[in-house]
Structure 1
Amino acid sequence: MAGRRLTREQRRAQLLDTALAIVREEGADVLTLARVAEEAGVSKPVAYEHFATRTGLLTALYRRIDQQQTEAATAALDTQAHSLAETARVLTEAYVDCVLHIGKEFGTVTAALSSIAGTESLLREGRERYAELYLRALERFVPLPKGEGMPLMLGVIGATEALAREVIEHRLGRTEAVAVASRIMLGAVTGPEEQGVNTSPLDRSA
């Protein structure tokens, strides 16, 4: 990118890439707007113009990760999810792969935000947004009791993230993590005797 002026969007992306690299190499404690500006080769006012505060920078990083997870899951659902079992596999695969792609910095950014007062709603909204995506995808194939869907999906997401962390720490293989997370999801939305049976969209005309 050197030698030409970046658009505002390109500059923001560059700063976020730089911030993520710092988190990956050194953790979130050293992350400041001044450090990001220095590493990106821009003046401090440029970084402050985009994010205003360190919290603003961490928030932008979190939202980027959240968007990547949502886009990956949506794209896979559109092309691969034609049954309940496939939907469970696609959703868990997309989540695990996104966490693996981002690596430990996802947890680092989340932990850093968790320690800042006033960010609880941001983290909750991110989890609930992804849970809503799960609900919309799964309810094409199986009805969920009113009021239970969101708690179920939040639990599934928590379990899937924990399994992805095990893969990052080399205590579990990716394929095994996806398989276990898929089983957890199927178990959450169907009875044991129903798993693998209701694998096509619901036909209410029968």
Structure 2
Amino acid sequence: MTTASTRLSKPARREQLLDTAMTIVRTQGADSLSLLTLAEAAGVSRPIVYDHFGTRPGLLLALYQRLDERHRAALAQALQGAAPVPGEMARVMSAAYFACAMDMPEWSAISAALKGNPDMEVIEHEMLNSYTAMMTAALLPHSGLMPEALQLRCVGVLGAAEAIAAELNRGRTTAADAVAALTDLIIGSIDTRTDRY
């Protein structure tokens, strides 16, 4: 249990609880995570955990959102350092995506644990919109497409990225091949030539 010497501010406690929850998911799987197991692992009382997350789905949603924030931050950082040419932008987007996919193996387990949760559907939509908006803004200067058309292509590219990430996490492809494939898909998505078909 916490003592006066280990009291944390509410935001700091939340981060500590999320770190502990992520460790549980990574080492034991999402099925092992409950508010009780989190309280025990973090060395706090159950009411503290309930105060922060309310329910197990609330905890899982908080973890999912945290992973998404890290993913978008990695993309933003990668884009800041990229040369403003399509090939380089596509490459850094791809590398950032798969670095996160390999660094956050909990993503799939948490997502699977939340399947069917109506709040999850809303959050997934918000996350997809946010991520595709970032991609669209970065790629728009290099494409003759209207923003809406480019954004729709980015949605498709992200679907492909998710499928490639699953292959990567299963060990059925390499990071280099995954990055190359997604880079090609991104470049293809901004190509507006109509004589390709």
State the match for 2:170 in structure 1.
169
State the match for 1:77 in structure 2.
79
Distance 1:141 1:191 in 2: 10
State the match for 1:53 in structure 2.
55
8 A Cα contact 2:140 2:147, kept in partner? no
Match of 2:32 among 30, 41, 49: 30
Q: State the shift of 1:146 in Å.
A: 4.8
1:129-140 aligned at under 5 Å gives the runs 129-140=130-141
8 A Cα contact 1:164 1:177, kept in partner? yes
1:1-206 aligned at under 5 Å gives the runs 4-103=6-105, 105-191=106-192
Distance 1:180 1:24 in 2: 28
Q: State the shift of 1:120 in Å.
A: 0.9
Aligned length: 193
Q: Report the TM-score, using the length of structure 2 for normalisation.
A: 0.90
Distance 2:189 2:33 in 1: 39
8 A Cα contact 1:81 1:90, kept in partner? no
| Distance change >3 Å, CA 171–CA 192, structure 1 → 2 | farther
The alignment's C-alpha RMSD in Å is: 2.1
- Amino acid across the alignment from 1:15: L
Q: Report the TM-score, using the length of structure 1 for normalisation.
A: 0.86
Q: State the shift of 1:98 in Å.
A: 0.7
- Amino acid across the alignment from 2:89: T
What percentage of aligned pairs have identical amino acids? Answer: 38
Distance 2:191 2:179 in 1: 18
Distance 2:110 2:193 in 1: 37
SS at match of 1:148: helix
Moved over 4 A (4+): 191-194
| Distance change >3 Å, CA 191–CA 14, structure 1 → 2 | same
Q: Tell me the alpha carbon deviations over residues 14-51 of structure 1, each in whole angstroms, 9 at most, x when there is no partner.
A: 11111112212222223211111111111001111111
Structure 1 gaps, min length 5: 195-206
- Amino acid across the alignment from 1:148: A
Distance 2:167 2:144 in 1: 31
Distance 1:73 1:89 in 2: 11
SS at match of 2:30: coil
State the match for 1:201 in structure 2.
none
